[in-house]
Amino acid sequence: MSNKPPLVAVVGKLVHDYVVSENKLVHLMGGNGSFASLGVTPFISSPKLLSCIGDDFPAKWLSALEKAGVDINNIHKLSRPHDFMTIMKYQLDGDRENIVEVSKIESLIKNASDSLISDKKLKQYLEDLNLWKEELDNLFQFTFFPDPYDYSEDLISSFQGVLICSAKAILQKEWVDRIRSINQKAIIVMDAPVERVNEREILKAHLSTLRRVNCFLPSEQEVKFLFPSLSLEDAIKSLAELGPEVIVVKRGSKGSLFFQRERGVFLSIPSFPTISIDPTGAGDCFCGGFLGGFILTKDFLSSAICGNAVASFAVSSRGADQLALTLLMHKDELNERISFVKENIKKWNLSL
């Protein structure tokens, strides 16, 4: 009997995050691939992160992932700068706003009392953004999300579970097609695509991908984008009818809503109460924890409990590099958080 640990993969992006909080500009490691792979590590050792980085991506960030237990050997290095970034502003109540308008970004940076105002990479990004907003976004979304055909059949066939993080719908489809053509047994967990309500036709086309996915983990807002005329419960049932055995809707500080066709009931899974410092990456960390939890327990409800518990560490840290350290320093607290979440699950009702 083999004693080899299960092989788990996370397919996602690595991103520069620039965060404006309390009038300071902070540069952090971001990207759904980083947060999601870290979310796996408390449950399954050495999850493989499949991603792409530029040749100037900070080595200290890769080191932070590796020290936290992420296998970084399948991250492809590109012969170009790593200039995929997001700029976010945080409010006093902890909510965040992803700033996409150039004038707003420039205003934020101008008022930030931080030396990063002279960051050359950020300045160049703003200059390019003025000229090529939509084209630039598409370029980065496609360039820094890995190509499934860059990975061997032997590697893909070895995976017991794969998380496909949020990306362009066509990229997610390519990954599902590639995995299923090689590996019928792998559990595929997928986040929602990056397209939004103004790209509804793409979203509708994307739904056909769900027939080959085991679990779909969108946010509540994303479900409403997909089915604007349906109640949340009916929308989730509609998603389940398309193929996934399990739908878990992420609801931020309210936790998550769990639906499994076999159980036939909706369950409200609470978040673990903690001081919110930065919600960035919490949803991605949940997805990673969900996958790791399932590979460990072979039970989907336990998977969602694990996801909620580990996501609470992301909420109480800032940046994926800090999350990596937080998980290492506070790993003894995980079981307590899992127990709290498990004990407070309730049947869903509309008043929640």
pLDDT digits (tens, 9 = 90+) for 209-224: 999 999 999 999 889 8
103 or 65: whose pLDDT is higher? 65
pLDDT at 118 over 60: no
Q: Could you give the percent of the chain with pLDDT greater than 90?
A: 62
97 or 146: whose pLDDT is higher? 146
Strands (E), 202-293: 215-216, 246-250, 256-260, 266-269
What pLDDT, on the 0 to 100 scale, is given for residue 124? 73
Place of tokens 């053509």: 181
- What is the mean predicted confidence (pLDDT) over 288-292? 98
Q: Could you give the percent of the chain with pLDDT greater than 70?
A: 86
pLDDT averaged over every residue in the chain: 87
pLDDT digits (tens, 9 = 90+) for 1-30: 346 778 999 999 999 988 776 667 778 899
Which strand (E) or helix (H) includes residue 176? helix 169-182
What pLDDT, on the 0 to 100 scale, is given for residue 19? 78
Burial label, 192 (beta-carbon count in 10 A; 0-12, 13-18, 19+): buried
- What is the mean predicted confidence (pLDDT) over 261-287? 90
What pLDDT, on the 0 to 100 scale, is given for residue 241? 93
Q: Which residues of 30-65 are buried (b: 16+ CB within 10 A; e: fewer)?
A: bbbbbbbbbbbbbbbebbbbbbbbbeebeeebbebb
Max mean pLDDT range (13-27, 106-120, 335-349) = 335-349
Task: State how far the Cα of 195 lies from the Cα of 217, in Å rounded to an integer.
Answer: 15
**Residue 280 gets which letter from DSSP?**
T
pTM for the full predicted model: 0.90
What pLDDT, on the 0 to 100 scale, is given for residue 352? 44
